[in-house]
Chain A
Amino acid sequence: MEVLKILVVFVRTLILYALVVIVMRIMGKRQIGQLQPFELVIAIMISDLAAVPMQNTGVPLLNGIVPIVTLLITQLLISLLSIKSIRARAIICGKPTILIEKGKINQSALRKELYAINDMLEQLRIINYQNIADIEYAILETSGEISVVPKSQKRPLNPEDMGIKTDYEGISTSVIIDGRVLTGNLEQAGKDRSWLIRELRKQQYDSPKQIFYACIDPSGKLIIQPIIKEARKKI
Protein backbone atom coordinates (compact mmCIF):
# COMPACT_ATOMS: atom_id res chain seq x y z
CA MET A 1 0.00 0.00 0.00
CA GLU A 2 2.91 2.31 0.80
CA VAL A 3 4.15 1.95 -2.79
CA LEU A 4 0.72 3.03 -4.04
CA LYS A 5 0.81 6.14 -1.85
CA ILE A 6 4.23 7.01 -3.29
CA LEU A 7 2.78 6.63 -6.78
CA VAL A 8 -0.05 8.99 -5.86
CA VAL A 9 2.50 11.60 -4.77
CA PHE A 10 4.48 10.93 -7.98
CA VAL A 11 1.47 11.44 -10.25
CA ARG A 12 0.28 14.51 -8.31
CA THR A 13 3.75 16.04 -8.54
CA LEU A 14 3.85 15.49 -12.30
CA ILE A 15 0.42 17.06 -12.75
CA LEU A 16 1.19 20.08 -10.56
CA TYR A 17 4.64 20.55 -12.10
CA ALA A 18 3.11 20.57 -15.60
CA LEU A 19 0.45 23.00 -14.43
CA VAL A 20 2.95 25.40 -12.81
CA VAL A 21 5.21 25.31 -15.91
CA ILE A 22 2.22 26.07 -18.17
CA VAL A 23 1.05 28.86 -15.86
CA MET A 24 4.53 30.40 -15.70
CA ARG A 25 4.85 30.21 -19.49
CA ILE A 26 1.49 31.94 -19.95
CA MET A 27 2.47 34.60 -17.43
CA GLY A 28 5.42 35.77 -19.54
CA LYS A 29 9.13 35.71 -20.01
CA ARG A 30 10.38 38.00 -17.27
CA GLN A 31 13.13 36.73 -15.04
CA ILE A 32 12.63 36.55 -11.30
CA GLY A 33 14.83 39.61 -10.65
CA GLN A 34 12.78 41.68 -13.06
CA LEU A 35 9.37 40.84 -11.64
CA GLN A 36 6.98 43.58 -10.70
CA PRO A 37 5.79 43.42 -7.08
CA PHE A 38 2.44 41.85 -8.00
CA GLU A 39 4.18 39.25 -10.17
CA LEU A 40 6.62 38.37 -7.39
CA VAL A 41 3.72 37.87 -4.96
CA ILE A 42 2.00 35.56 -7.44
CA ALA A 43 5.21 33.56 -8.10
CA ILE A 44 5.75 33.02 -4.36
CA MET A 45 2.14 32.03 -3.78
CA ILE A 46 2.07 29.60 -6.70
CA SER A 47 5.16 27.76 -5.48
CA ASP A 48 3.56 27.29 -2.06
CA LEU A 49 0.15 26.34 -3.43
CA ALA A 50 1.68 23.65 -5.62
CA ALA A 51 3.89 22.21 -2.86
CA VAL A 52 1.08 21.51 -0.35
CA PRO A 53 -1.17 19.22 -2.45
CA MET A 54 1.97 17.56 -3.88
CA GLN A 55 2.98 16.17 -0.48
CA ASN A 56 -0.38 15.94 1.28
CA THR A 57 -2.53 13.38 -0.49
CA GLY A 58 -5.38 14.19 1.90
CA VAL A 59 -5.95 17.47 0.09
CA PRO A 60 -7.99 17.13 -3.12
CA LEU A 61 -5.90 17.98 -6.18
CA LEU A 62 -8.56 20.50 -7.23
CA ASN A 63 -7.75 22.49 -4.08
CA GLY A 64 -4.27 23.00 -5.52
CA ILE A 65 -5.28 23.50 -9.14
CA VAL A 66 -8.08 26.04 -8.62
CA PRO A 67 -6.01 28.61 -6.66
CA ILE A 68 -3.12 28.35 -9.14
CA VAL A 69 -5.47 28.91 -12.08
CA THR A 70 -7.17 31.73 -10.15
CA LEU A 71 -3.80 33.42 -9.60
CA LEU A 72 -3.05 33.01 -13.31
CA ILE A 73 -6.23 34.78 -14.38
CA THR A 74 -5.69 37.48 -11.74
CA GLN A 75 -2.17 38.06 -13.01
CA LEU A 76 -3.36 38.21 -16.63
CA LEU A 77 -6.08 40.67 -15.65
CA ILE A 78 -3.67 42.92 -13.72
CA SER A 79 -1.12 42.78 -16.56
CA LEU A 80 -3.79 43.75 -19.09
CA LEU A 81 -4.93 46.57 -16.85
CA SER A 82 -1.39 47.87 -16.44
CA ILE A 83 -0.82 47.73 -20.21
CA LYS A 84 -4.06 49.56 -21.02
CA SER A 85 -4.01 52.24 -18.33
CA ILE A 86 -1.02 54.35 -17.26
CA ARG A 87 -2.80 55.26 -14.02
CA ALA A 88 -3.49 51.62 -13.22
CA ARG A 89 0.14 50.81 -13.98
CA ALA A 90 1.31 53.51 -11.58
CA ILE A 91 -0.92 52.08 -8.84
CA ILE A 92 -0.08 48.41 -9.49
CA CYS A 93 3.62 48.61 -10.33
CA GLY A 94 4.55 51.97 -8.77
CA LYS A 95 6.62 54.64 -10.51
CA PRO A 96 10.37 54.79 -11.09
CA THR A 97 12.12 57.02 -8.54
CA ILE A 98 15.08 59.24 -9.30
CA LEU A 99 17.67 58.54 -6.59
CA ILE A 100 20.49 60.62 -8.05
CA GLU A 101 19.69 63.73 -10.05
CA LYS A 102 22.41 65.68 -11.84
CA GLY A 103 25.04 64.03 -9.67
CA LYS A 104 23.28 64.81 -6.35
CA ILE A 105 21.66 62.19 -4.13
CA ASN A 106 17.93 62.81 -3.75
CA GLN A 107 17.68 62.22 0.01
CA SER A 108 13.91 62.61 0.25
CA ALA A 109 13.47 59.97 -2.50
CA LEU A 110 15.77 57.58 -0.59
CA ARG A 111 13.74 58.09 2.59
CA LYS A 112 10.43 57.69 0.75
CA GLU A 113 11.56 54.40 -0.80
CA LEU A 114 13.09 53.24 2.53
CA TYR A 115 16.29 52.66 0.58
CA ALA A 116 19.47 52.78 2.67
CA ILE A 117 22.29 54.75 1.09
CA ASN A 118 24.64 51.77 1.61
CA ASP A 119 22.29 49.54 -0.41
CA MET A 120 22.21 52.12 -3.18
CA LEU A 121 26.01 52.42 -3.23
CA GLU A 122 26.32 48.63 -3.27
CA GLN A 123 23.95 48.35 -6.24
CA LEU A 124 25.87 51.10 -8.07
CA ARG A 125 29.18 49.32 -7.43
CA ILE A 126 27.71 46.10 -8.84
CA ILE A 127 27.03 47.91 -12.11
CA ASN A 128 30.53 49.45 -12.06
CA TYR A 129 29.88 52.95 -10.72
CA GLN A 130 32.19 53.55 -7.79
CA ASN A 131 31.88 57.32 -7.81
CA ILE A 132 28.55 59.13 -7.48
CA ALA A 133 30.11 62.15 -9.21
CA ASP A 134 30.23 60.08 -12.43
CA ILE A 135 26.46 59.66 -12.42
CA GLU A 136 24.03 62.09 -14.01
CA TYR A 137 20.90 60.13 -13.09
CA ALA A 138 20.30 56.94 -11.10
CA ILE A 139 16.77 55.66 -11.28
CA LEU A 140 15.20 53.05 -9.03
CA GLU A 141 13.02 51.10 -11.43
CA THR A 142 9.68 49.52 -10.46
CA SER A 143 11.32 46.08 -10.60
CA GLY A 144 13.71 47.17 -7.82
CA GLU A 145 16.76 47.49 -10.08
CA ILE A 146 18.81 50.65 -10.43
CA SER A 147 19.52 52.01 -13.88
CA VAL A 148 22.16 54.67 -14.42
CA VAL A 149 22.68 57.46 -16.93
CA PRO A 150 26.37 58.44 -16.59
CA LYS A 151 27.68 61.96 -17.11
CA SER A 152 28.55 62.46 -20.78
CA GLN A 153 32.28 62.70 -19.95
CA LYS A 154 32.13 59.34 -18.16
CA ARG A 155 30.09 57.28 -20.57
CA PRO A 156 31.82 54.48 -22.53
CA LEU A 157 33.44 55.57 -25.78
CA ASN A 158 31.62 54.47 -28.94
CA PRO A 159 32.47 54.60 -32.68
CA GLU A 160 30.26 57.64 -33.21
CA ASP A 161 32.29 59.65 -30.66
CA MET A 162 35.41 58.81 -32.68
CA GLY A 163 33.74 59.56 -36.04
CA ILE A 164 34.32 55.97 -37.19
CA LYS A 165 31.92 54.55 -39.76
CA THR A 166 30.64 51.04 -39.08
CA ASP A 167 28.94 48.48 -41.32
CA TYR A 168 25.48 47.11 -40.63
CA GLU A 169 25.56 44.26 -38.16
CA GLY A 170 22.65 41.88 -37.96
CA ILE A 171 22.46 38.69 -35.97
CA SER A 172 23.71 35.24 -36.84
CA THR A 173 21.11 32.60 -37.59
CA SER A 174 21.65 29.05 -36.32
CA VAL A 175 20.93 26.56 -39.10
CA ILE A 176 22.35 23.25 -37.77
CA ILE A 177 22.38 22.15 -34.17
CA ASP A 178 23.76 18.74 -33.24
CA GLY A 179 23.40 17.38 -36.79
CA ARG A 180 19.80 18.60 -37.23
CA VAL A 181 18.94 21.21 -39.83
CA LEU A 182 16.72 24.02 -38.51
CA THR A 183 14.57 24.44 -41.60
CA GLY A 184 12.58 27.37 -40.22
CA ASN A 185 15.73 29.38 -39.48
CA LEU A 186 17.15 28.47 -42.88
CA GLU A 187 14.03 29.83 -44.59
CA GLN A 188 14.11 32.92 -42.41
CA ALA A 189 17.66 33.60 -43.62
CA GLY A 190 16.44 33.33 -47.22
CA LYS A 191 18.34 30.10 -47.94
CA ASP A 192 17.33 26.54 -48.69
CA ARG A 193 18.60 23.04 -48.02
CA SER A 194 20.39 22.69 -51.36
CA TRP A 195 22.34 25.91 -50.64
CA LEU A 196 23.28 24.49 -47.24
CA ILE A 197 24.49 21.20 -48.74
CA ARG A 198 26.49 23.10 -51.36
CA GLU A 199 28.12 25.23 -48.68
CA LEU A 200 28.88 22.15 -46.58
CA ARG A 201 30.53 20.42 -49.56
CA LYS A 202 32.64 23.50 -50.21
CA GLN A 203 34.01 22.97 -46.70
CA GLN A 204 34.52 19.19 -47.26
CA TYR A 205 31.44 17.90 -45.39
CA ASP A 206 28.91 15.53 -47.00
CA SER A 207 26.01 15.74 -44.60
CA PRO A 208 24.58 18.05 -41.88
CA LYS A 209 24.91 15.03 -39.56
CA GLN A 210 28.66 15.72 -39.39
CA ILE A 211 28.05 19.23 -38.05
CA PHE A 212 27.67 20.10 -34.38
CA TYR A 213 26.80 23.75 -34.95
CA ALA A 214 26.44 25.91 -38.03
CA CYS A 215 25.18 29.43 -38.42
CA ILE A 216 24.82 32.02 -41.15
CA ASP A 217 26.61 35.22 -40.13
CA PRO A 218 25.24 38.70 -41.02
CA SER A 219 27.34 38.75 -44.20
CA GLY A 220 25.67 35.51 -45.37
CA LYS A 221 28.69 33.27 -44.75
CA LEU A 222 28.20 29.79 -43.29
CA ILE A 223 30.20 29.27 -40.09
CA ILE A 224 30.70 25.60 -39.20
CA GLN A 225 31.81 23.62 -36.21
CA PRO A 226 31.98 19.84 -36.89
CA ILE A 227 31.09 17.10 -34.44
CA ILE A 228 34.13 15.80 -32.56
CA LYS A 229 33.51 12.17 -31.69
CA GLU A 230 35.69 12.10 -28.55
CA ALA A 231 33.84 15.09 -27.15
CA ARG A 232 30.50 13.32 -27.73
CA LYS A 233 31.71 10.21 -25.85
CA LYS A 234 32.69 12.37 -22.87
CA ILE A 235 29.21 13.92 -22.78
Chain B
Amino acid sequence: MKYGITVKTICSILIITLLIVVISFFSQRKLIRDSTVLGQSIEKIEESVESEGWDQAKGILKQISDDWMEVKGIWAALIDHAEIDNIDITLSRLEALIMIEDVSASLSEAAALRKYVNHIPNKEKLSFENVF
Protein backbone atom coordinates (compact mmCIF):
# COMPACT_ATOMS: atom_id res chain seq x y z
CA MET B 1 0.00 0.00 0.00
CA LYS B 2 1.43 3.37 -1.05
CA TYR B 3 0.97 6.44 1.10
CA GLY B 4 1.09 9.99 -0.22
CA ILE B 5 3.69 12.52 0.83
CA THR B 6 1.07 14.34 2.94
CA VAL B 7 0.30 11.25 5.01
CA LYS B 8 4.01 10.54 5.42
CA THR B 9 4.71 14.12 6.51
CA ILE B 10 1.81 14.15 8.97
CA CYS B 11 2.93 10.79 10.40
CA SER B 12 6.51 12.08 10.77
CA ILE B 13 5.26 15.23 12.51
CA LEU B 14 3.10 13.17 14.88
CA ILE B 15 5.91 10.71 15.65
CA ILE B 16 8.46 13.47 16.37
CA THR B 17 5.96 15.40 18.50
CA LEU B 18 5.05 12.26 20.42
CA LEU B 19 8.73 11.47 20.90
CA ILE B 20 9.39 14.94 22.35
CA VAL B 21 6.38 14.64 24.69
CA VAL B 22 7.35 11.13 25.84
CA ILE B 23 11.02 12.08 26.41
CA SER B 24 9.90 15.19 28.27
CA PHE B 25 7.43 13.18 30.41
CA PHE B 26 9.96 10.51 31.37
CA SER B 27 12.77 12.97 32.02
CA GLN B 28 10.48 15.01 34.29
CA ARG B 29 9.52 11.83 36.15
CA LYS B 30 13.18 10.90 36.49
CA LEU B 31 14.04 14.36 37.86
CA ILE B 32 11.18 14.23 40.40
CA ARG B 33 12.09 10.69 41.55
CA ASP B 34 15.81 11.42 41.91
CA SER B 35 15.33 14.77 43.61
CA THR B 36 12.83 13.24 46.06
CA VAL B 37 15.31 10.49 47.00
CA LEU B 38 18.18 12.97 47.36
CA GLY B 39 15.97 15.47 49.23
CA GLN B 40 14.87 12.84 51.76
CA SER B 41 18.48 11.83 52.41
CA ILE B 42 19.47 15.49 52.89
CA GLU B 43 16.63 15.89 55.43
CA LYS B 44 18.01 12.86 57.30
CA ILE B 45 21.44 14.50 57.35
CA GLU B 46 19.90 17.67 58.79
CA GLU B 47 18.24 15.63 61.55
CA SER B 48 21.50 13.82 62.32
CA VAL B 49 23.47 17.09 62.39
CA GLU B 50 20.87 18.69 64.69
CA SER B 51 21.21 15.77 67.11
CA GLU B 52 24.99 15.80 66.56
CA GLY B 53 25.01 12.22 65.32
CA TRP B 54 28.10 12.79 63.20
CA ASP B 55 28.82 9.15 62.34
CA GLN B 56 25.28 8.70 61.08
CA ALA B 57 25.53 11.98 59.13
CA LYS B 58 28.78 10.81 57.48
CA GLY B 59 27.13 7.50 56.50
CA ILE B 60 24.13 9.28 54.93
CA LEU B 61 26.42 11.75 53.19
CA LYS B 62 28.34 8.85 51.65
CA GLN B 63 25.02 7.44 50.43
CA ILE B 64 24.03 10.83 48.96
CA SER B 65 27.38 11.13 47.17
CA ASP B 66 26.92 7.66 45.67
CA ASP B 67 23.33 8.39 44.62
CA TRP B 68 24.39 11.73 43.16
CA MET B 69 27.19 10.15 41.12
CA GLU B 70 24.60 7.74 39.68
CA VAL B 71 22.05 10.36 38.64
CA LYS B 72 24.51 13.10 37.64
CA GLY B 73 25.17 11.68 34.17
CA ILE B 74 21.51 11.62 33.16
CA TRP B 75 20.79 14.98 34.80
CA ALA B 76 23.62 16.52 32.74
CA ALA B 77 21.69 15.68 29.58
CA LEU B 78 18.54 17.31 30.92
CA ILE B 79 19.42 20.37 32.97
CA ASP B 80 21.75 23.34 32.84
CA HIS B 81 25.27 22.21 33.79
CA ALA B 82 25.61 25.21 36.14
CA GLU B 83 22.96 23.58 38.37
CA ILE B 84 25.05 20.40 38.50
CA ASP B 85 28.14 22.42 39.44
CA ASN B 86 26.15 24.12 42.24
CA ILE B 87 25.13 20.75 43.68
CA ASP B 88 28.70 19.39 43.36
CA ILE B 89 30.19 22.41 45.13
CA THR B 90 27.58 22.48 47.92
CA LEU B 91 28.00 18.73 48.46
CA SER B 92 31.78 19.15 48.82
CA ARG B 93 31.31 22.01 51.28
CA LEU B 94 28.84 19.95 53.32
CA GLU B 95 31.31 17.04 53.40
CA ALA B 96 34.05 19.31 54.76
CA LEU B 97 31.75 20.89 57.36
CA ILE B 98 30.51 17.51 58.60
CA MET B 99 34.14 16.37 58.88
CA ILE B 100 34.93 19.27 61.22
CA GLU B 101 31.55 18.75 62.96
CA ASP B 102 30.31 22.32 62.63
CA VAL B 103 26.56 22.23 63.40
CA SER B 104 25.32 25.64 62.20
CA ALA B 105 27.41 25.78 59.02
CA SER B 106 26.50 22.17 58.15
CA LEU B 107 22.79 22.90 58.60
CA SER B 108 23.05 25.99 56.42
CA GLU B 109 24.92 24.10 53.69
CA ALA B 110 22.49 21.13 53.87
CA ALA B 111 19.54 23.54 53.47
CA ALA B 112 21.22 25.09 50.42
CA LEU B 113 21.86 21.63 48.95
CA ARG B 114 18.22 20.63 49.57
CA LYS B 115 17.07 23.77 47.79
CA TYR B 116 19.40 23.18 44.82
CA VAL B 117 18.15 19.60 44.43
CA ASN B 118 14.45 20.23 45.04
CA HIS B 119 14.03 23.23 42.77
CA ILE B 120 15.26 21.36 39.67
CA PRO B 121 11.97 19.55 38.81
CA ASN B 122 10.06 22.82 39.31
CA LYS B 123 12.49 24.66 37.09
CA GLU B 124 12.17 22.11 34.31
CA LYS B 125 8.42 21.36 34.39
CA LEU B 126 5.89 22.72 31.91
CA SER B 127 4.30 25.62 33.75
CA PHE B 128 3.07 29.15 33.08
CA GLU B 129 5.99 30.54 35.08
CA ASN B 130 8.58 28.57 33.09
CA VAL B 131 7.04 29.31 29.71
CA PHE B 132 6.88 33.06 30.24
Which residues of chain A have a CB within 8 Å of any CB of chain B? 57-62, 66, 69-70, 72-73, 76-77, 80, 83-84
Contact = CB atoms under 8 A, between A and B. Distances in A.
A58 B81 contact: yes
Interface of B: 6, 9-10, 12-13, 16-17, 20, 76-82
A76 B80 contact: no
Given A61-B77, A76-B13, A83-B6, 16 more contacts: A58-B80, A58-B81, A60-B76, A62-B77, A66-B20, A69-B16, A70-B20, A72-B16, A73-B16, A73-B17, A76-B12, A77-B13, A80-B6, A80-B9, A80-B10, A84-B6
A84 B4 CA distance: 13
A73 B81 contact: no
Given A76-B9, A77-B13, A69 B79 contact: no
Contacts of B6: 80, 83-84
Contacts of B20: 66, 69-70
A84 B6 CA distance: 9
A18 B86 CA distance: 32
B81 to A, nearest CB: 4
A60 B79 contact: yes
Contact of B81 (A57, A70, A76): A57
A7 B4 CA distance: 43
14 contacts: A57-B81, A58-B82, A59-B81, A60-B80, A60-B81, A61-B77, A62-B77, A66-B20, A69-B20, A73-B12, A73-B13, A73-B16, A73-B17, A76-B13
A24 to B, nearest CB: 16
Chain A at the B interface: mostly helix, strand, loop or mixed?
Answer: helix
Contacts of B76: 60
Contacts of A72: 16
Nearest to A72: B16
Chain B at the A interface: mostly helix, strand, loop or mixed?
Answer: helix
Nearest to A79: B9
A83 B13 CA distance: 16
A62 B16 CA distance: 14
A28 to B, nearest CB: 12
A57 B79 CA distance: 12
Contact of B78 (A58, A60, A84): A60
A77 to B, nearest CB: 6
A141 B2 CA distance: 35
A80 B5 CA distance: 10
Contacts of A66: 20
A80 B81 CA distance: 38
* 4 cross-chain pairs, A with B, having the tightest CB-CB distances, nearest first: A58-B81, A73-B13, A73-B16, A60-B77
B16 A59 contact: no
Nearest to A57: B81
Contact of B80 (A59, A69, A83): A59
A76 B8 CA distance: 11
B122 to A, nearest CB: 17
A61 B20 CA distance: 14
B79 to A, nearest CB: 7
